[in-house]
Structure 1
Amino acid sequence: MRTRPAIFATIVAGALALAGCDAIPGMGGGESALDIPEVGPGELSEATMKDVTRILSSDEFAGRMPGTAGEEKTIALLTERFEKAGLQPGNGDSWVQEVPLVEITGSNFAPLTITDGETDLVYDYGREWTGVSYREEAQTQLVNSEMVFVGYGINAPERGWNDYEGIDVKGKTVVILVNDPDWESEGLDGPFNGKAMTFYGRWTYKYEEAARQGAAAALIVHDTDPASYGWNVVESSWGGPQAYAARGDNPPPMTLVNGWVQKDVA
């Protein structure tokens, strides 16, 4: 495990257009709320979007991970495009801002063993399951942790939904489905906006909520359709170094292990 600064591009636009907003509600009709300059329509084209996507996703950028040569190339490209678009730096005279990161590289991963006391199911790391720990500790072990299925692992009172209601998961391993409950809907109607994934459907939220509930570990069941990517993406993304913003002296709750398990073996 090591800590190092990484660089992220920060920008602000030189002019802001607010269509149809001439005055703040409650002010007289003739009073201008903001002195906004005239800004013409944007010239963002499909060809431009395809070109930028092609470049950033090319092998030359090697995934664009912070702290790598791919990140430096990404920053250089974004800076060049921002300048050509007439934008201004958002950090004084600089386009970039240093952000302290923690990078954790795991090793000596054990198989995932699930038992009912009589029969053991053993899953190979990488091929059938993968996982990491975001705890800044030399070694992490998860032993004798009861498994609890918690549906989509969502606690959303404003949507009338709580998969954890009435379930004590403290010290246990929660097993979670990927995406939102209504991901198979044809349209955008439903408690979680149908096919339009909400933040509740993302793996980041599911791990964070599991930690808030006191779980020792969280395993998401990978399914290609609702995840929108294959197991190869999970294996490659979670099999190498993991970087995240340094959490400071009062970090939020964290599980011992966050991981994925193949649907076929779940």
Structure 2
Amino acid sequence: MAKWTAFPYDSAAYTYDAAALKKQWARLHAGDAEPWAVASKDDDVLAAWALFHAGDFQKAFDAGLKAGGAGITVANKAQAIYANYLEKSEKTKLAMFLEVAERAEAQQAAEPKNANAFYWQAYAIGRYGQGISVAKALAQGLGSKVKNALETTIALAPKHADAHIALGSFHAEVIDKVGKLLGKTQGADAATGLKMFKEALKLNPGSAIAMVEYANGLVMLEGDKKMKDAEALYADAAACKPLDAMERLDVEMAKAELEE
């Protein structure tokens, strides 16, 4: 496998041993609702999570795959987050998203009650769809796949903040690209989208990515009149204190949005 691009920031503050990981787990996983009880059963899985949080995404991916079981979730998250933020080749990025989606679907078959098996499938297909264009993705029937997988995630894990964010983004993106009328045929609804973003922030109030996606969603759904609200959300996101490498990437993205 080709060498992945390294995490571009200092990761010393995001290096956790098992005890520190346990202490910070609830906060680190407020987004994906991954249960400590599942992760902590296997030292190899915990080691893979420690690599993920420190931004060593390729090693986290390899360690998660090797561990199997709950390690597959680490591998999927590491590959999806790496592809989204750090992979420079568009072709490689799209291929990675498809790999994650495929692996997550296989995980669903093995563990039908694993919320993150559905979430990472939805995330990967959603990002893949953005890469090939939302209109093209909808024409291929990917929209309903994303929506169904996210709704299943929330049914299995009602406090899954990231699934609420992604579902809010689904509604906003579809309406933004094909309009409210055609959006309805895809099950997209503006009020539901806004409700999802608000719920995500209630579940994970310190989430920079929730603020960024909510800001984007506001502008997509309600236009320029919401630009000031969006800018305030970007500013709040940029001021968040990241606890791991992924959160650092979210905060840096918010800062970049503010500068534009």
TM-score normalised by structure 1 residue count: 0.27
Structure number with greater Rg is 1
RCO (CA 8 Å, sep 6+): is it higher in 1 or 2? 1
Hey, which of these two has a bigger chunk of helix by percent? 2
Hey, which of these two has a bigger chunk of strand by percent? 1
